[in-house]
Protein backbone atom coordinates (compact mmCIF):
# COMPACT_ATOMS: atom_id res chain seq x y z
CA UNK A 1 0.00 0.00 0.00
CA UNK A 2 1.34 3.41 -0.96
CA UNK A 3 1.63 5.80 1.97
CA UNK A 4 1.80 9.57 1.76
CA UNK A 5 4.57 11.54 3.47
CA UNK A 6 2.05 12.69 6.08
CA UNK A 7 0.99 9.12 6.80
CA UNK A 8 4.61 8.03 7.22
CA UNK A 9 5.30 10.88 9.62
CA UNK A 10 2.13 10.24 11.59
CA UNK A 11 2.98 6.56 11.91
CA UNK A 12 6.49 7.44 13.02
CA UNK A 13 5.13 9.74 15.74
CA UNK A 14 2.80 7.00 16.97
CA UNK A 15 5.68 4.53 17.03
CA UNK A 16 7.83 6.98 18.99
CA UNK A 17 5.02 7.40 21.51
CA UNK A 18 4.75 3.64 21.87
CA UNK A 19 8.51 3.32 22.34
CA UNK A 20 8.44 5.99 25.03
CA UNK A 21 5.70 4.05 26.80
CA UNK A 22 8.03 1.03 26.89
CA UNK A 23 10.84 2.99 28.54
CA UNK A 24 11.33 2.23 32.23
CA UNK A 25 11.99 5.74 33.56
CA UNK A 26 12.59 4.35 37.03
CA UNK A 27 15.85 2.82 35.79
CA UNK A 28 17.18 6.07 34.35
CA UNK A 29 19.75 7.95 36.38
CA UNK A 30 20.85 11.53 35.75
CA UNK A 31 24.60 11.80 35.30
CA UNK A 32 26.30 15.13 36.02
CA UNK A 33 29.49 16.35 34.34
CA UNK A 34 31.30 19.62 35.13
CA UNK A 35 32.74 20.85 31.81
CA UNK A 36 33.78 24.43 32.69
CA UNK A 37 33.59 26.84 35.64
CA UNK A 38 29.92 27.07 36.63
CA UNK A 39 28.85 25.00 33.58
CA UNK A 40 27.51 21.45 33.81
CA UNK A 41 25.91 18.80 31.62
CA UNK A 42 23.16 16.45 32.74
CA UNK A 43 22.64 13.22 30.78
CA UNK A 44 20.38 10.21 31.19
CA UNK A 45 21.93 6.78 31.64
CA UNK A 46 22.54 4.61 28.57
CA UNK A 47 20.73 1.50 27.41
CA UNK A 48 17.32 2.27 28.97
CA UNK A 49 15.56 4.73 26.65
CA UNK A 50 13.92 2.87 23.76
CA UNK A 51 14.33 5.94 21.54
CA UNK A 52 17.88 6.89 22.55
CA UNK A 53 20.07 3.95 23.45
CA UNK A 54 23.23 6.06 23.79
CA UNK A 55 21.81 8.14 26.66
CA UNK A 56 18.24 8.53 27.86
CA UNK A 57 16.55 11.68 26.61
CA UNK A 58 18.34 14.84 25.54
CA UNK A 59 21.27 16.49 27.28
CA UNK A 60 20.67 19.41 29.65
CA UNK A 61 23.00 22.34 30.16
CA UNK A 62 23.18 24.01 33.58
CA UNK A 63 24.90 27.33 34.24
CA UNK A 64 24.98 27.84 38.02
CA UNK A 65 26.42 30.50 40.28
CA UNK A 66 25.65 33.51 42.47
CA UNK A 67 23.30 34.99 39.85
CA UNK A 68 21.09 31.91 39.90
CA UNK A 69 20.66 29.05 37.45
CA UNK A 70 20.09 28.98 33.69
CA UNK A 71 19.09 25.62 32.21
CA UNK A 72 19.11 24.53 28.58
CA UNK A 73 16.34 21.95 27.99
CA UNK A 74 14.41 19.92 30.52
CA UNK A 75 14.41 16.20 29.56
CA UNK A 76 11.35 13.92 29.69
CA UNK A 77 8.60 14.97 32.08
CA UNK A 78 8.85 11.57 33.78
CA UNK A 79 12.38 12.48 34.88
CA UNK A 80 11.57 15.97 36.22
CA UNK A 81 12.09 15.09 39.89
CA UNK A 82 15.45 13.44 39.14
CA UNK A 83 16.53 16.39 37.01
CA UNK A 84 15.59 18.88 39.73
CA UNK A 85 17.44 16.80 42.33
CA UNK A 86 20.54 16.78 40.11
CA UNK A 87 20.33 20.57 39.66
CA UNK A 88 19.98 21.02 43.44
CA UNK A 89 23.14 18.97 43.97
CA UNK A 90 24.94 21.49 41.77
CA UNK A 91 23.43 24.58 43.42
CA UNK A 92 20.61 25.44 45.83
CA UNK A 93 20.14 28.79 44.05
CA UNK A 94 16.99 29.84 42.20
CA UNK A 95 16.36 28.41 38.74
CA UNK A 96 15.78 31.65 36.86
CA UNK A 97 15.70 30.66 33.20
CA UNK A 98 14.99 27.61 31.08
CA UNK A 99 15.94 27.82 27.40
CA UNK A 100 14.53 25.25 24.94
CA UNK A 101 16.70 24.23 21.99
CA UNK A 102 13.69 22.74 20.12
CA UNK A 103 10.26 21.24 20.73
CA UNK A 104 10.87 17.50 21.13
CA UNK A 105 9.56 15.93 24.30
CA UNK A 106 12.95 14.57 25.40
CA UNK A 107 14.07 18.22 25.56
CA UNK A 108 10.88 19.97 26.73
CA UNK A 109 8.88 17.32 28.62
CA UNK A 110 10.02 18.66 32.00
CA UNK A 111 9.21 22.30 31.16
CA UNK A 112 6.16 22.57 33.40
CA UNK A 113 7.99 21.17 36.44
CA UNK A 114 10.94 23.54 35.92
CA UNK A 115 8.57 26.49 35.45
CA UNK A 116 6.73 25.59 38.66
CA UNK A 117 10.13 25.60 40.38
CA UNK A 118 10.42 29.27 39.42
CA UNK A 119 12.01 29.37 35.96
CA UNK A 120 10.99 31.63 33.10
CA UNK A 121 10.88 29.62 29.87
CA UNK A 122 12.53 31.20 26.83
CA UNK A 123 12.42 29.85 23.27
CA UNK A 124 11.73 30.64 19.63
CA UNK A 125 8.27 31.95 18.80
CA UNK A 126 8.00 29.08 16.31
CA UNK A 127 8.60 26.58 19.11
CA UNK A 128 5.80 28.09 21.20
CA UNK A 129 3.47 27.90 18.20
CA UNK A 130 4.42 24.24 17.67
CA UNK A 131 3.67 23.51 21.34
CA UNK A 132 0.28 25.19 21.07
CA UNK A 133 -0.60 22.85 18.18
CA UNK A 134 0.55 19.76 20.07
CA UNK A 135 -1.86 17.63 22.07
CA UNK A 136 -1.62 17.17 25.83
CA UNK A 137 0.93 19.90 26.61
CA UNK A 138 0.72 21.42 30.10
CA UNK A 139 0.23 25.18 29.57
CA UNK A 140 2.69 25.80 32.40
CA UNK A 141 5.41 24.45 30.13
CA UNK A 142 4.91 27.01 27.35
CA UNK A 143 7.63 29.60 26.74
CA UNK A 144 6.64 33.02 28.07
CA UNK A 145 9.53 34.94 26.47
CA UNK A 146 10.04 34.30 22.76
CA UNK A 147 12.17 35.58 19.89
CA UNK A 148 12.49 35.01 16.16
CA UNK A 149 15.29 35.01 13.62
CA UNK A 150 17.76 37.82 14.15
CA UNK A 151 20.73 38.70 16.36
CA UNK A 152 21.52 36.46 19.35
CA UNK A 153 19.68 36.98 22.62
CA UNK A 154 22.39 37.60 25.24
CA UNK A 155 22.55 36.78 28.94
CA UNK A 156 25.31 37.90 31.26
CA UNK A 157 25.33 35.86 34.43
CA UNK A 158 27.67 33.82 36.61
CA UNK A 159 30.74 35.13 34.83
CA UNK A 160 29.46 33.99 31.43
CA UNK A 161 28.11 35.56 28.28
CA UNK A 162 25.38 33.27 26.95
CA UNK A 163 24.17 33.67 23.37
CA UNK A 164 20.85 32.21 22.22
CA UNK A 165 21.39 31.93 18.48
CA UNK A 166 18.31 31.17 16.34
CA UNK A 167 18.83 28.73 13.47
CA UNK A 168 16.60 28.68 10.41
CA UNK A 169 14.43 25.56 10.08
CA UNK A 170 16.87 22.63 10.43
CA UNK A 171 16.07 19.80 12.87
CA UNK A 172 12.75 21.59 13.55
CA UNK A 173 11.30 24.98 12.69
CA UNK A 174 12.21 26.44 16.09
CA UNK A 175 15.87 25.53 16.64
CA UNK A 176 18.26 27.48 18.87
CA UNK A 177 21.92 26.85 19.62
CA UNK A 178 23.32 28.11 22.91
CA UNK A 179 26.87 29.45 23.07
CA UNK A 180 28.80 30.00 26.31
CA UNK A 181 31.45 32.45 25.16
CA UNK A 182 33.92 32.28 28.05
CA UNK A 183 33.74 28.50 28.37
CA UNK A 184 34.09 28.18 24.57
CA UNK A 185 31.21 25.68 24.53
CA UNK A 186 28.20 25.49 22.20
CA UNK A 187 25.13 23.34 22.87
CA UNK A 188 23.98 22.37 19.39
CA UNK A 189 20.60 20.77 20.03
CA UNK A 190 19.69 18.00 17.60
CA UNK A 191 20.53 19.20 14.09
CA UNK A 192 23.84 17.40 14.58
CA UNK A 193 23.95 13.93 16.12
CA UNK A 194 26.56 11.21 15.84
CA UNK A 195 24.37 8.44 17.21
CA UNK A 196 21.96 7.55 14.44
CA UNK A 197 21.50 9.38 11.15
CA UNK A 198 20.26 12.99 11.03
CA UNK A 199 16.62 13.50 11.94
CA UNK A 200 14.80 16.15 9.90
CA UNK A 201 11.44 16.63 11.63
CA UNK A 202 9.39 17.79 8.67
CA UNK A 203 6.16 17.72 10.69
CA UNK A 204 7.60 20.35 13.04
CA UNK A 205 9.13 22.55 10.34
CA UNK A 206 12.56 20.95 9.89
CA UNK A 207 14.30 20.92 6.52
CA UNK A 208 17.30 19.38 4.81
CA UNK A 209 18.29 22.76 3.37
CA UNK A 210 18.16 24.34 6.82
CA UNK A 211 20.21 21.55 8.36
CA UNK A 212 23.00 22.06 5.84
CA UNK A 213 22.87 25.82 6.40
CA UNK A 214 23.02 25.27 10.17
CA UNK A 215 26.16 23.15 9.83
CA UNK A 216 27.80 25.90 7.79
CA UNK A 217 26.87 28.44 10.48
CA UNK A 218 28.36 26.20 13.17
CA UNK A 219 31.63 25.94 11.28
CA UNK A 220 31.85 29.75 11.23
CA UNK A 221 30.89 30.17 14.90
CA UNK A 222 33.17 27.51 16.34
CA UNK A 223 36.90 27.86 16.77
CA UNK A 224 39.29 24.91 16.55
CA UNK A 225 39.10 24.37 20.32
CA UNK A 226 35.37 24.96 20.79
CA UNK A 227 33.57 22.04 22.37
CA UNK A 228 30.35 21.29 20.47
CA UNK A 229 27.80 19.38 22.50
CA UNK A 230 24.92 17.70 20.66
CA UNK A 231 21.69 16.67 22.31
CA UNK A 232 22.57 13.04 21.45
CA UNK A 233 25.93 11.41 20.81
CA UNK A 234 29.49 12.34 21.72
CA UNK A 235 31.03 15.77 22.23
CA UNK A 236 32.82 16.98 19.10
CA UNK A 237 34.81 19.89 17.67
CA UNK A 238 34.54 21.87 14.45
CA UNK A 239 36.51 19.40 12.33
CA UNK A 240 33.88 16.71 13.01
CA UNK A 241 31.22 18.78 11.25
CA UNK A 242 32.87 18.46 7.84
CA UNK A 243 32.45 14.69 7.30
CA UNK A 244 28.94 14.90 8.75
CA UNK A 245 27.95 17.61 6.26
CA UNK A 246 29.65 15.73 3.42
CA UNK A 247 27.77 12.55 4.32
CA UNK A 248 24.44 14.40 4.17
CA UNK A 249 25.32 15.89 0.79
CA UNK A 250 26.45 12.52 -0.57
CA UNK A 251 23.21 10.79 0.43
CA UNK A 252 21.22 13.75 -0.91
CA UNK A 253 22.99 13.46 -4.28
CA UNK A 254 22.28 9.73 -4.51
CA UNK A 255 18.61 10.20 -3.67
CA UNK A 256 18.34 13.01 -6.23
CA UNK A 257 19.77 10.74 -8.95
CA UNK A 258 17.26 8.01 -8.15
CA UNK A 259 14.36 10.47 -8.17
CA UNK A 260 15.52 11.68 -11.60
CA UNK A 261 15.28 8.03 -12.74
CA UNK A 262 11.65 7.93 -11.59
CA UNK A 263 12.25 5.71 -8.56
CA UNK A 264 9.60 5.46 -5.86
CA UNK A 265 10.35 5.91 -2.16
CA UNK A 266 10.35 2.15 -1.62
CA UNK A 267 12.79 1.70 -4.51
CA UNK A 268 15.08 4.40 -3.11
CA UNK A 269 15.02 2.74 0.31
CA UNK A 270 15.81 -0.62 -1.29
CA UNK A 271 18.87 0.93 -2.95
CA UNK A 272 20.52 1.36 0.51
CA UNK A 273 22.13 4.66 -0.39
CA UNK A 274 23.55 5.05 3.14
CA UNK A 275 25.56 1.80 2.86
CA UNK A 276 28.95 3.57 2.46
CA UNK A 277 28.39 5.24 5.84
CA UNK A 278 26.50 2.62 7.87
CA UNK A 279 29.61 1.20 9.55
CA UNK A 280 30.63 4.73 10.63
CA UNK A 281 27.28 5.79 12.13
CA UNK A 282 26.61 4.18 15.54
CA UNK A 283 22.92 3.34 15.84
CA UNK A 284 22.30 4.11 12.18
CA UNK A 285 20.66 0.75 11.50
CA UNK A 286 18.65 0.59 14.72
CA UNK A 287 14.83 0.94 14.58
CA UNK A 288 13.52 4.51 14.43
CA UNK A 289 9.75 4.10 14.48
CA UNK A 290 7.42 3.16 11.64
CA UNK A 291 9.82 4.61 9.05
CA UNK A 292 12.17 1.66 9.67
CA UNK A 293 15.77 2.18 10.73
CA UNK A 294 17.40 5.53 11.45
CA UNK A 295 18.94 5.30 7.97
CA UNK A 296 15.52 4.64 6.39
CA UNK A 297 13.99 7.61 8.21
CA UNK A 298 16.81 9.87 7.04
CA UNK A 299 16.49 8.76 3.41
CA UNK A 300 12.70 9.12 3.56
CA UNK A 301 13.00 12.69 4.80
CA UNK A 302 15.47 13.59 2.04
CA UNK A 303 13.24 11.96 -0.58
CA UNK A 304 10.18 13.87 0.60
CA UNK A 305 11.94 17.22 0.58
CA UNK A 306 13.50 16.71 -2.84
CA UNK A 307 10.17 15.56 -4.29
CA UNK A 308 8.55 18.73 -3.00
CA UNK A 309 11.27 20.71 -4.72
CA UNK A 310 12.11 22.75 -1.61
Q: Are strands 30-36 and 39-44 parallel, antiparallel or unpaired?
A: antiparallel
Provide mean pLDDT across the span 176-201.
96
Least confident of 23-32, 73-82, 102-111, 288-297: 288-297
Residue 289: its pLDDT value, please? 80
pLDDT exceeds cutoff 90 at 19: no
Q: Model's pTM, two decimal places? A: 0.91
Angle made by CA atoms 252, 256, 258, in degrees to the nearest 5: 120
What domains can be seen in the chain, in order of their start residue?
25-242 (3.60.15.10)
Query: Do 198 and 191 contact (CB within 8 A), yes or no?
Result: yes
37-67 tens-digit pLDDT: 999 999 999 989 888 888 899 999 999 999 9
* Spatial separation of the C-alpha atoms in residues 188 and 211, rounded to whole Å: 12
Task: Find the Cα–Cα–Cα–Cα dihedral 246, 202, 140, 55, rounded to 10°.
Answer: -40
- 221-254 pLDDT per residue, tens: 999 999 999 999 999 999 999 999 999 999 999 9
Cα separation, 216 vs 132, whole angstroms:
31
**Full DSSP string of 102-131:** SS-HHHHTTHHHHHHTTPEEEEEHHHHHHH
What average pLDDT does range 28-37 have in this prediction? 97
Amino acid sequence: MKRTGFAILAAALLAATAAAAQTDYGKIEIITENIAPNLYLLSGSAGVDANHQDAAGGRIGVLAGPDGILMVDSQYGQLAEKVLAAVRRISPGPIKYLVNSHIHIDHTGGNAAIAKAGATIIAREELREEMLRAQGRDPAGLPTITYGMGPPVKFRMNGEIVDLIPIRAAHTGGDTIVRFENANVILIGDFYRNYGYPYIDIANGGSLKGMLEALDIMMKLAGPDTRLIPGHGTIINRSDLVPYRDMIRSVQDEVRKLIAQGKTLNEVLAAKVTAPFDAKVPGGLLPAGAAGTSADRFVTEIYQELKRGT
